[in-house]
């Protein structure tokens, strides 16, 4: 067959058959990437292979779980491991590495008792065995205090660095020494019970985040605004933080779980998805002996709602934008174009996946690992397009989108505007298992029209490839090597960049095949080929998120 015929046949097969990744077979065990490691508090040299560009000057900061047991008690869920912070300091083509455990109250108390005494996302701390049986019984009726084990991300407020999780607590961090500083409680500044570990930053230096609150008036999702600041203060400074908008939950008894949100030039977008938290079960989960993740449920009979808020006035749009049940953990980008709001995000059709990442599942081997991976839904990049002005006289059931080059639709209905997505990928992405942990050239293109994004391909339970997506034609470039598991890619722009992809992409690569074989990988972002690597003679577990701290 000639090329034209082959392409036509490929298109027909793509349209006729389910768009799913290949079935797993013979996936290797990643259990060694989920074992406790020692910290490396003093910077050590790395071995450079290839070339690390001399213009890179700063620190690649990473966060994630690094300790999974205390004494005989072990954590149940990957999210529960004690936060281990990593720093790759890059200067003049050389790299040093250091790491420290976050000295959270949770870490210190667990260490002192040599057992887990603070409950985490998937692990319920058991009563003190030294108490009498009556004290143990009644302790189950006490609501556990929120953890300050901030192992999800590095974030910035007013120029200062913090590590964050999804409770009301953060910890200020010295980005050079990784020393744990002040414990910060959001409730001391504004009326929220928790905040995400994925804030957004605008070009004026302000920070936006999303928190929640609940009381007699019901359950609310709150858009948080923190003004710009110079940083460098001795203590934490969130003064001036305010709630920009409060969005009532569709159900106060069963609000939605959220991990992040979207930001465009003029709007904050909260996605109310049908991953539900049963507040009654939450109040009783200690009595029931369940982990926090077990009081969450995926309810696909419900819709997903996009709440659009003017980020300058705090006004919530009167238009109800909604779509079928889907879930998203991470957004790629959002921007405005000729009266439309474009939202790109990593989406799946089964939100039960969050509770599945138990250490027991992740440490499976052989057929059990294949079975577990195959049970997970494929995460794919989707685009939604929302018309910002919807007139009352618009007829129902007609597509309101007049933008070229998109197949996304938005139709006015009796209950709002129903949106369908465009797939931001071609069939070849499925060969890499879909994608997650998306990143862009955030400094210059966040909340603006853009062309490229970077992510991890998920041909395994952890990312096993790095991907560059060119949205013009939805073309992929791939870095993939058997047995190597790269972290979330972070883009660092070149100092004299002219194009969007002028710069490098950094990722920490780990392997279960050989101990002390981790390395910092540096790719040319334009060609997506390796420039160099910095080999680290210590064990590094698979982590979550991070950022690059550029230094003058």
- Supply φ then ψ for residue 477, to 5 degrees: -115, 145
Report residue 37 as tokens.
């490691």
Residue 224 to residue 197: CA distance in whole angstroms: 13
Helix, strand or coil, per DSSP, at residue 367? helix
Beta pairing partners, 96: 45, 89
C-alpha to C-alpha distance for 278 and 271, rounded to whole angstroms: 18
Q: Known binder of ligand: residue 259?
A: yes
Q: Is 307 annotated as a binding residue?
A: no
Residue that has been written with the tokens 């959001």 in this structure: 186
In sequence order, which residues have a C-beta less than 8 Å from that of residue 253 and are 6 or more positions away?
219, 278, 279, 280
C-alpha–C-alpha distance, residues 300 and 323, integer Å: 11
Report which DSSP code applies to 107: H
Instruction: Tell me the two tokens of residue 428.
Output: 């070849």
Binding residue per annotation — 86?
A: no
Q: By C-alpha distance, which of 142, 229, 122, 146 is closest to 195?
A: 146
Contact 196, 259 (CB under 8 A): yes
Q: Which two tokens stand for residue 177?
A: 């020494």
Running DSSP on this structure, what letter comes out for residue 166? S
CB 78 within 8 A of CB 65: yes
Nearest to 288 by CA among 143, 149, 147: 143
What whole-number distance in Å separates Cα of residue 448 and Cα of residue 243? Answer: 25
Largest separation between any pair of C-alpha atoms in the chain:
80
Nearest in space to 302 (alpha carbons), one of 321, 271, 325, 322: 325
* Binding site listing: 198, 259, 330, 545
Task: Give the annotated binding-site residues for Fe cation.
Answer: 198, 259, 330, 545
């Amino acid at each position: 067959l000639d090329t034209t015929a082959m392409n036509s046949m490929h298109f027909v097969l793509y349209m006729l058959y389910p768009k799913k990744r290949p079935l797993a077979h013979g996936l290797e065990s990643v259990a060694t990437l989920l074992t406790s490691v020692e910290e490396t508090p003093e910077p050590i040299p790395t071995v450079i292979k290839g070339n690390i560009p001399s213009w890179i000057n700063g620190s690649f900061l990473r966060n994630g779980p690094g300790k999974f047991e205390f004494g005989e008690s072990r954590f149940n869920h990957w999210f529960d491991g004690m936060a281990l912070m990593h720093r790759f300091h890059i200067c003049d083509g050389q790299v040093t590495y250091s790491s420290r455990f976050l000295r959270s109250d949770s870490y210190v108390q667990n260490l002192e008792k040599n057992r887990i005494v603070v409950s985490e996302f998937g692990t319920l701390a058991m009563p003190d065995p030294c108490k009498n049986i009556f004290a143990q019984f009644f302790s189950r009726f006490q609501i556990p205090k929120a953890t300050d084990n901030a192992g999800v991300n590095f974030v910035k407020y007013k120029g200062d660095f913090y590590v964050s999780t999804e409770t009301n607590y953060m910890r200020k961090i010295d980005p050079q020494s990784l020393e744990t500083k002040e414990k910060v409680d959001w409730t001391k500044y504004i009326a929220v019970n928790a905040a995400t570990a994925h804030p957004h930053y605008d070009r004026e230096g302000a920070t936006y985040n999303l928190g929640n609150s609940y009381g007699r008036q019901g359950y609310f999702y709150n858009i948080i605004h923190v003004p710009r600041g110079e940083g460098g203060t001795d203590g934490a400074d969130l003064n001036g933080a305010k709630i920009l908008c409060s969005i009532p939950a569709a159900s106060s008894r069963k609000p939605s779980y959220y991990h992040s949100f979207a930001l465009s030039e003029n709007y904050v977008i909260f996605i109310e998805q049908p991953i539900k938290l049963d507040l009654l079960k939450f109040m009783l989960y200690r009595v029931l002996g369940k982990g926090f993740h077990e009081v969450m449920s995926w309810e696909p009979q419900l819709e997903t709602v996009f709440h659009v808020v003017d980020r300058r006035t705090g006004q919530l749009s009167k238009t109800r934008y909604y779509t079928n049940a889907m879930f998203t953990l991470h957004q790629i980008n959002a921007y405005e174009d000729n009266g439309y709001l474009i939202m790109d995000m990593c989406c799946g059709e089964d939100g039960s996946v969050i509770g599945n990442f138990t250490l027991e599942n992740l440490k499976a081997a052989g057929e059990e690992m294949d079975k577990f991976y195959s049970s997970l839904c494929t995460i794919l990049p989707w685009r939604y397009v929302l018309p910002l002005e919807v007139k009352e006289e618009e007829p129902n059931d007609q597509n309101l989108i007049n933008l070229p080059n998109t197949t996304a639709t938005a139709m006015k209905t009796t209950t709002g505007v129903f949106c369908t997505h465009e797939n931001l990928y071609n069939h070849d992405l499925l060969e890499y298992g879909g994608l997650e942990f998306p990143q862009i050239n955030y400094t210059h293109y966040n909340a603006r029209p853009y062309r490229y994004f970077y992510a991890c391909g998920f041909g395994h339970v952890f990312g096993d490839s790095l991907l560059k997506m060119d949205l013009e034609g939805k073309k992929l470039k791939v870095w993939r090597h058997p047995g190597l598991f790269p972290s979330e890619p972070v883009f660092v722009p070149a100092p004299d960049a002219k194009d969007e992809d002028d710069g490098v992409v950094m990722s920490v690569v780990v392997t279960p095949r050989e101990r002390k074989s981790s390395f910092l990988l540096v790719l040319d972002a334009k060609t997506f080929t390796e420039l160099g690597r910095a080999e680290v003679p210590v064990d590094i577990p698979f982590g979550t998120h991070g950022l690059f701290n550029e230094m003058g």
